[in-house]
């Protein structure tokens, strides 16, 4: 791309991926989640280019780029461009201060692996443009417009967790977020002698967008049925187990299972926060295992590869718990592993996984990290 020849960054932003300790698919049901940002991130380098509306993008590593005109924004047939275009569109709806710029991005964050590279992409871009053009957007504006961009331009009806975690996280902490009120507590994640290990199944969640939206509709179907008896109900967040059971006979069996999972998962998030505050890692681990069973059997967003790795963990006393993290159908599994057993566990998991599926596992430790931030400002 032409613009790369004279590219001198004025501003560099790092936007992280995230893990979710627990609380899967609860965000769009206005429940609780407990995510944190991780060290792996997308780096954005920005430069104003003096034009009124010409924007140039280049993704290093992917070796692809494209141009956008702020005056003529519309959806693209190329998926990744829509994350970018959606953010530009949402910003231009809120302010007229945006002008032409060049942007190069580079990532060490695996994509389609449940670590929310999509939110890192949206939020890093929005955060950077806010700085570069002094747009006056708050962090919450950035979170919300990035979520809306994913709805309107990409077509995933995602909740708010991923963008919230990518922007608002703080080093060493998890965020216990109430997705109804958007109030949150920072929970110190002091896990020693345990470590959070991620195993990347190498299975990318191609099904995710369509199946994700199906899950959302199934939950809405449940709410609309319960609402007939309890008109005060607006989301699964307000539904008690008694209300759900009282309406079971009116629901498709699959809808009942989806709703049961969400009710149980919300409860588990609060139990997890308590367990972590008390350093009760055994209880925390059990909650991870329970959550995975729900993900696999009730919500049906797991896959045989994730199930295998979670089951494999159960053979190790040094692994207190495990579950698939992220929207589902593959991506990464998260394991709470005693520090002395980490390398043996990884070696054996890698070996068994290759034997079973012929796939090379990638494993890495994560520690709770800060949200989207500036790493360089030029003169």
Cα 4 from Cα 119, distance rounded (Å): 25
CB of 111 to ligand ADP, least distance (A): 4
CB atoms within 10 A of CB 252: 12
With b meaning 16 or more CB within 10 Å and e meaning fewer, what string describes 65-103?
bbebebeebeebeeebbbbbbbbbbbbeeeeeebbbbbb
- Are the C-beta atoms of 142 and 119 separated by less than 8 Å? no
Binding pattern for the stretch 96-125 against Mg ion, x by CB under 5 A and - elsewhere: --------------------x-x-------
| Residue with smaller CB distance to Mg ion, 116 or 333 | 116
CB of 47 to ligand ADP, least distance (A): 18
Cα 202 from Cα 210, distance rounded (Å): 20
Query: Which of ligand ADP, Mg ion, none does residue 313 bind (CB under 5 to 8 Å by kind)?
Result: none
Query: Which of Mg ion, ligand ADP, none does residue 302 bind (CB under 5 to 8 Å by kind)?
Result: none
Would you name the residues annotated as active-site residues? 162
Query: Which of Mg ion, ligand ADP, none does residue 146 bind (CB under 5 to 8 Å by kind)?
Result: none
CB atoms within 10 A of CB 10: 17
CB of 231 to ligand ADP, least distance (A): 35
| Residue with smaller CB distance to Mg ion, 118 or 201 | 118
| Residue with smaller CB distance to Mg ion, 47 or 163 | 163
Residues that bind ligand ADP (CB under 6 A): 42, 59, 62, 79-80, 83, 105, 107, 111-118, 121, 208, 326
The DSSP-derived string for 243-295 is HHHHTGGGS-HHHHHHHHHHHHHHHHHHHHHHHHHTT-HHHHHHHHHHHHHII
Query: Which of Mg ion, ligand ADP, none does residue 105 bind (CB under 5 to 8 Å by kind)?
Result: ligand ADP
118-177 positions binding Mg ion, by CB under 5 A: 118
Backbone dihedral angles phi then psi of residue 365, each to the nearest 5 degrees? -90, 145
CB of 74 to ligand ADP, least distance (A): 17
| Residue with smaller CB distance to ligand ADP, 294 or 328 | 328
Quote the DSSP letter at residue 16.
Answer: E
Cα 367 from Cα 313, distance rounded (Å): 20
CB of 188 to ligand ADP, least distance (A): 26
| Residue with smaller CB distance to ligand ADP, 159 or 285 | 159
Backbone dihedral angles phi then psi of residue 182, each to the nearest 5 degrees? 65, 15
Q: Is 138 exposed, middle or buried (0-12, 13-18, 19+ CB in 10 A)?
A: exposed
Cα 118 from Cα 377, distance rounded (Å): 24
Cα 338 from Cα 255, distance rounded (Å): 38
Chain centroid to Cα 229, Å, comes to 34
| Residue with smaller CB distance to Mg ion, 88 or 123 | 123
CB of 332 to ligand ADP, least distance (A): 9
Query: Which of Mg ion, ligand ADP, none does residue 111 bind (CB under 5 to 8 Å by kind)?
Result: ligand ADP
Torsion of CA 84, 166, 37, 281, to 10 degrees: -130
Query: Which of ligand ADP, Mg ion, none does residue 279 bind (CB under 5 to 8 Å by kind)?
Result: none
Binding pattern for the stretch 322-351 against Mg ion, x by CB under 5 A and - elsewhere: ------------------------------
What are the residues binding Mg ion (CB under 5 A)?
A: 116, 118
């Amino acid at each position: 791309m032409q613009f790369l020849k004279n590219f001198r960054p004025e501003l560099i932003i790092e936007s992280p991926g995230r893990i979710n300790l627990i609380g899967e698919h609860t965000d769009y049901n206005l429940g609780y989640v407990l995510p944190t940002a991780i060290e792996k991130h997308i780096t954005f380098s920005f430069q104003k280019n003096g034009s009124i509306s010409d924007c140039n993008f280049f993704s290093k590593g992917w070796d692809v780029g494209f141009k956008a005109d702020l005056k003529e924004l519309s959806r693209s047939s190329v998926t990744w461009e829509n994350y970018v275009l959606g953010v530009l569109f949402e910003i231009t709806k809120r302010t007229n201060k945006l002008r032409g710029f060049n942007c190069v991005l580079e990532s060490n964050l695996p994509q389609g692996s449940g670590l929310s590279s999509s939110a890192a992409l949206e939020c890093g871009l929005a955060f950077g443009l806010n700085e570069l053009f002094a747009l006056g957007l708050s962090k919450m504006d950035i979170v919300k417009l990035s979520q809306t961009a994913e709805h309107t331009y990409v077509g995933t009806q995602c909740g708010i967790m991923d963008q919230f975690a990518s922007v608002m996280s703080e080093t060493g902490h998890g965020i216990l977020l109430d997705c109804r009120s958007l109030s949150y507590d920072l929970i110190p994640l002091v896990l020693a002698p345990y470590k959070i290990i991620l195993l990347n199944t190498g299975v990318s969640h191609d099904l995710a967008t369509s199946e994700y939206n199906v899950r959302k509709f199934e939950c809405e179907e449940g709410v609309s049925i319960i609402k007939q008896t309890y008109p005060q109900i607006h989301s699964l967040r307000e539904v008690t187990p008694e209300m759900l059971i009282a309406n079971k006979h009116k629901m498709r069996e699959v809808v009942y299972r989806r709703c049961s999972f969400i009710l149980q998962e919300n409860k588990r998030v609060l139990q997890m926060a308590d367990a972590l505050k008390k350093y009760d890692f055994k209880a925390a681990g059990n909650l991870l295992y329970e959550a995975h069973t729900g993900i696999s059997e009730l919500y049906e967003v797991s896959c045989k590869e994730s199930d295998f790795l979670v089951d494999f963990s159960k053979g190790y006393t040094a692994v207190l718990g495990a579950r698939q993290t992220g929207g589902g159908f593959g991506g990464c599994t998260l394991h709470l592993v005693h520090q002395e057993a980490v390398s043996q566990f990884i070696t054996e998991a890698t070996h068994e996984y290759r034997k079973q599926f012929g796939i090379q596992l990638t494993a890495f430790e994560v520690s709770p990290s800060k949200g989207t931030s500036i790493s360089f400002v030029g003169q």
